Amino acid sequence: MLKIGDKAPQFCLEGLSADGEEKKICLKDLLAEKKDLILYFYPKDNTPGCTTEACDFRDRLPHMENGLVVGISKDSLISHKKFREKHNLNFILLSDPEHSAMEAYGAWGEKNMYGIKTMGCIRSTFIISKDGSINHVWYKVRAKGHANTVIEVMK
């Protein structure tokens, strides 16, 4: 697991820009925006918790003027497009089907749901500074209200 002060692991993933354009996006490209990066990993498009979290980030984006929000899941670009359009999402969505970025950030591991153990995405969020170091880490995030927590920490 990563901790505050660690260098953010590099990645390059296919995704959708904030405008919905398909493109490959790398961490170095995101850091070039000269904003703090709010990188969040979530399990699946269009599920209740993930939709709540995404819509909260969408609605609170104006309060994160110094931040760039990026969501990553293992879903395909087709799924991301539907998710983005259905919920009018206004931030970057990246596809990590091989869960390489998730593993690098400690956001992939064993989960226990109703006594059944599976491997999957562990809902996690990282605030990464312009220099690429991790400023804040949340693992095992509760979707509802998390965007407000991120805003408070960024103030």
Please identify every residue annotated as catalytic.
50
Q: What is the CA radius of gyration of the chain?
A: 14
Q: Which amino acid is at 112?
A: N
Helix axes 77-87, 48-60, angle to 10 degrees: 60
List Cα–Cα distances, 89 to 59, 116, 151, in angstroms. Answer: 9, 32, 18
What are residue 115's phi and psi, to 5 degrees?
Answer: 80, 0
Q: What is the DSSP letter of 127?
A: E
Q: Return the beta strands (E) in the chain as ranges.
A: 12-16, 22-26, 36-41, 67-73, 92-95, 108-113, 116-121, 124-128, 134-139
